[in-house]
C-alpha cells in the first residue's frame, strides 16, 4: 500500500509538471518536479522507517518513534527546499510550491481515502 501511495505521488507530480511545461515553460515544469521531490523523498524515508519500526514493544514507543520520524521528515523537506533554491536560483516559486502542495495533498488523499 505504501509503495502505491508513493507511486501515485510521483505520477501525479510528473503529470502536473507536464501540464506546467505544456502551458508554460520547461523551467516551470522543472520547478514543479523540484517541489514534488522536496516532499516525496522525505516521505519515502518516513515510510521506510515506519516499516522498520512496525512492531514496537509498547504503544508509547510506537507513538514516540512516529513523532520523531515525522519531525525528521519535515526537517528533511525543509532542507531539500533550501538546497533546491540554492542550487537553482532561477527556479520559479509558484510552480515549485504547486508541485510541493500537489505531492502533499495527493499523499494525504491516498492515505486517508484508502483508494489504493
What's the pLDDT tens digit per position in 49-70?
777 666 656 677 778 888 888 9
**Helices and strands counted in the chain (H then E):** 4, 0
Single out the residue of 106, 104, 100 nearest to residue 31, CA to CA: 100
Would you say residue 1 has pLDDT above 70?
A: no
Would you say residue 83 has pLDDT above 90?
A: yes
pLDDT digits (tens, 9 = 90+) for 84-107: 999 999 999 999 999 999 999 988
Amino acid at each position: 500500500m505504501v509503495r502505491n501511495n508513493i507511486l501515485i505521488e510521483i505520477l501525479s507530480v510528473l503529470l502536473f509538471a507536464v501540464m506546467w511545461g505544456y502551458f508554460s515553460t520547461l523551467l516551470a515544469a522543472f520547478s514543479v518536479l523540484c517541489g514534488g521531490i522536496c516532499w516525496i523523498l522525505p516521505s519515502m524515508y518516513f515510510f521506510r522507517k515506519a516499516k522498520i519500526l512496525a512492531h514496537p514493544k509498547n504503544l508509547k514507543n510506537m507513538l514516540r518513534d512516529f513523532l520523531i520520524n515525522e519531525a525528521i521528515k519535515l526537517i528533511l523537506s525543509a532542507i531539500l527546499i533550501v538546497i533546491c533554491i540554492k542550487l537553482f536560483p532561477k527556479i520559479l516559486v509558484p510552480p515549485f510550491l504547486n508541485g510541493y502542495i500537489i505531492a502533499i495533498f495527493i499523499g494525504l488523499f491516498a492515505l486517508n481515502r484508502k483508494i489504493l
